[in-house]
Structure 1
Amino acid sequence: MADALAASLLHVLLGLELGSTAQGGNNRFSIDGLTLQPQGDGALEIGIRRFDAAALRVALGPLVLEIDRIALHQLALQLQAEAGRLRLRSGQAASAELFGVKVQGPLALPAEVQALPAGAAAAAGPWSLGPLAAADGTIRAEIVDAHLLFDADVTVPIRRGRVDFNEATVEHVGPDSRMGVSRLGVYVDAPNGRSYLYQFTCMPVVGAEFERRGAFLGARVTDRGHLQLQPFAEALLRQPAKGLGMGITDQARQLFDRTALSGDLQLGDGRFGAPGVQAELTGRAERRNAIRVHSEAVGRGISAEMASVSVQNALLDAGALQLACDQVTGALTLHVFVEGGDLRFVSTLANVKIVGLRLQPR
């Protein structure tokens, strides 16, 4: 009886049928402290002191969501009878705990995203990467048998959300190379000449301060240039999805399978926004929201880990349902990889705690 009621409640909440996380397994539910209070006009208010569910599997279009266990505390649902069926009017939970959450599927950005004129406010678009404005860290790459760079060790420091190519190093046998950014793109000056890793497809380039040369024509480079990560990354993401990779040169693509990557990046506090998602990252002073990236070969995939995620005022637009919460903490791992020529991802969440959860149908 409890399993049937719980499954019905989840179906009302999510509008989805559930499957099992394991072969031969079952979705398992338990309800403690159930109250039912009829309201006027066919409405019904349901109160649950504690709702537990385990071994859940939900298909969200091409994505698959699996949850080992979820617990909701002080759950209150307001349902409305429409055409002989109960529909969710609103829902709240004082807190929630999730364990063993996994989301996987194809990685794809919307085919068209909102394009903004240069200098427009970041908050006006769907992408807002405020935590990059104060990010600090270092990205390291080891390129084996590079065609133009030889075997190379690349170090790119990031300070207060800014890449200063004067501080970037490209070390290898013989004279070292130098990285920089010009009006054509991000380049490497090797002993045998300049080559571009990423070429800009349009001007102006938001967030870029280009290299500078001496007073005379053809004089040597005196400043290798800078990139402000937040405006630069936001501008890239606001391009149509089909154009995001157009600036990557053939030489860079050839290097990807021979490039190992590692790095650490401490994100700042600030607003994060993406299509369908809004949140505010907090806790930089406690070293929360630090990212560790790793890849044995960038061309085959890359992983990112966040051992301590701290988010406030999160809002998720899940199609017919909008979810909001006051605070989310936990740990996140994301792995992006190439399979059959397509990009796919697997994301896992551990020990997630949510405070002030609210659900509202659109």
Structure 2
Amino acid sequence: MPITLARSLLDAVLASELGSSEPDAGNRFSLDGLTLGPATEGGREIGIRRFEATSLRLAAGALALEVGRLALYKLVGQVRTDAGRPRLSGLRAANAELSGVKAQGLLMLPTPATGGLHAPPAPAGAQAATATPTTEIAGSPWSLGPLAGAEGSLQAKIVDAQLLFDADVTVPMRQGQIDFNDASVEHVGPDSRMGVSRMGLYVDAPNGRSYLYQFPATPVGGVEYERRGALLGPFVSDRGKLRLREFAEGLLRQSRAGLALGFTEQARLLFGRTALRGDLQLGDGTFCAPGVRAEMAGRAEGRNAVRVHSEAVGRGLTLEIPSLSLRHAVLTGRGTHLECDEVTGSLTLRLFIDNAQPRFAFELANAQVTGLRL
């Protein structure tokens, strides 16, 4: 009974089918302070002072997830018996602790028609991916509220650039906005300038203007285009601005094809020779993605600061949040609705290309959760 109940508890909490990559060592459970209330038509109430599981490997759809340790405290749930097996129909936990959480899979973007998540198609001739987890969960509108108050800067080093020389690029972000009048592209000789026109993001170099990202024919949100001098003269008087939240949300709502086609061939070559680092302090605000909704909080205490680094942007990018702080988080998928009052922890997210496919890998070194409800 306790082992069956433990497996049922994990299946319910994580909306997954429980398995083990190492049968001799994996999936260990312990229960302390188990109490059972009287049976009713709605089932039986169960109380557990502490539930702990270690060395877990879980599968939710095609997504594989490893959990080093999961501990739940002061659990109260409703248990129903289905075909002789106990099933949880509802669960509350005062708090939870997680460590050693790892997952990876294909990076998926929503399609405009459905809002669902889909893996991007492999390019012609690309090697087929094997044994790579993907996931599809319920869609919801994109909202990137924390970008509205973002502060920080990105520094890039472009080696042997088509700007004639190696280039050092600095892009500051203030109050959720990039002002290209403040961005710099430094190299030997006259420096280049970055900006944004109605055609897209560009660099004006000694050998002329080159576009890094070209906009579609439809209007792009969050953009203040460059302005020229009197009578449309050749000199740019204002390089333009990007409001990060509106611009990023607009790009995410485009189709996958639209996102991919925006990058020019020159930009793809440059990204392969571009190292990147930077620090970004996110603001407080609501974050929504397909199947996920949460409120980022704690900016005044330095929470939700992001470290960005990459040896070559064209091959991958790593984002680290040493002090993640979320409130009122909601996760939905596979018929499960999970809520919690607060989540804190340390998160590392890696985006990379493998077999011509964009992929992700994340690691949650440790996390604390309060007010968990299923």
TM-score (norm 1): 0.92
Cα distance, 1:17–1:163 mapped onto 2, change above 3 Å: same
**How many Å separate the matches in 1 of 2:279 and 2:7?**
42
Report the Cα distance in structure 2 between the residues aligned to 1:307 and 1:13, rounded to whole angstroms.
25
Q: Which moved more, 1:47-56 or 1:105-114?
A: 105-114
Matches within 5 A, 1:181-330: 181-330=196-345
Does 56-65 or 14-23 show the bigger shift?
14-23
RMSD over aligned CA atoms reads: 1.9
Secondary structure of 1:307's partner? Answer: strand
Aligned to 2:161: 146
Task: Give 2:160's aligned amino acid.
Answer: D
Unaligned runs of 5+ in 1: 116-124
Residue aligned with 1:150, SS: coil
Deviation, 1:348, is 0.5
- Any idea what SS the aligned residue of 1:146 has? coil
Shift of 1:243: 2.1
Q: Which residue of 1 aligns with 2:151?
A: 136
Pairing of 1:155-194 with structure 2 (within 5 A): 155-194=170-209
Summarize deviations over 1:215-274 as a string: whole Å, max 9, x none.
123330000000000001001111123322221111001111100011100000000000
Q: Does the CA-based 8 Å contact 1:272-1:279 persist in structure 2?
A: yes
- In structure 2, the CA distance between the partners of 1:180 and 1:67, relative to structure 1 (3 Å rule), is same
**In terms of mean alpha carbon deviation, does 341-350 or 130-139 score higher?**
341-350
Partner Cα distance (1:228, 1:264) in 2:
18
C-alpha displacement at 1:336, in angstroms? 1.1
Distance 1:149 1:64 in 2: 46
The code of the aligned residue for 2:38 comes to: P
Q: Which residue of 1 aligns with 2:137?
A: none
For residues 335-354 of structure 1, what are the structure 2 equivalents within 5 Å? 335-354=350-369
1:79-113 alpha-carbon deviations (Å, 9 max, x no partner): 23456554432110000000111111111123336
What's the CA shift for 1:131?
0.4
- Secondary structure at the residue paired with 2:41? helix
Q: Summarize deviations over 1:133-158 as a string: whole Å, max 9, x none.
A: 01000011100011235210000000
What are the Cα deviations for residues 102-135 of structure 1, in whole angstroms up to 9, with x where unaligned?
A: 11111112333679xxxxxxxxx61110000010
Specify the alignment match of 1:109 in structure 2: 109
Distance in structure 1 (CA, Å) of the matches to 2:367 and 2:208: 50
The answer to whether the Cα contact below 8 Å between 1:260 and 1:298 also exists between their aligned partners in 2 is yes
C-alpha change, 1:302 and 1:12, in structure 2 (3 Å) is: closer
Alpha carbons of structure 1 residues 13 and 223: separation in structure 2 relative to 1, 3 Å? closer
User: Is there any run of 5+ residues in structure 2 with no aligned partner, and where?
Assistant: 116-139
> Hey, what does 1:68 align to over in structure 2?
68
Residues 34-113 of structure 1: pairs in structure 2 closer than 5 A: 34-41=34-41, 43-82=43-82, 85-112=85-112
Q: In structure 2, what is the equivalent of residue 121 of structure 1?
A: none
Q: Secondary structure at the match of 1:204?
A: coil
Letter in 1 for 2:329: A
How many angstroms does 1:23 deviate by?
6.9
Give the letter aligned to residue 320 of structure 1: G
Specify the code of the residue in structure 1 equivalent to 2:156: A
1:13 and 1:224 map into 2 onto residues whose CA distance is 51
2:211/2:264 contact within 8 Å kept? yes
Q: Relative to 1, partners in 2 of residues 1:158 and 1:325: Cα closer, same or farther, differing over 3 Å?
A: same
Tell me, what secondary structure is at the counterpart of 1:8? helix
Partner Cα separation in structure 1 for residue 301 and residue 172 of structure 2? 22
Q: Say which SS state the counterpart of residue 288 (structure 1) adopts.
A: coil
Calculate percent identity across the aligned residue pairs: 61
Report the AA paired with residue 360 of structure 2.
F
Deviations 1:184-208 (CA, angstroms, capped at 9, x unpaired): 0000000111010000013211000
| TM-score, length-scaled by structure 2 | 0.89
Output the CA distance in 2 between the equivalents of 1:238 and 1:346: 23
* Alpha-carbon distance, 1:61 to partner: 2.5
C-alpha displacement of 1:20: 2.5
1:9 counterpart = 2:9: yes
Once residues 26 and 223 of structure 2 are traced to their aligned partners in structure 1, the CA distance between those partners, rounded to angstroms, is 54
Alpha-carbon contact 2:26-2:57 (below 8 Å) kept: no
How far apart, in 2, do the equivalents of 1:312 and 1:257 lie? 37
Q: Deviations over 1:20-53 (max 9, x none)?
A: 2547422100000001123322512111000000
Give aligned pairs, total: 351
Moved more, 234-243 or 310-319: 234-243
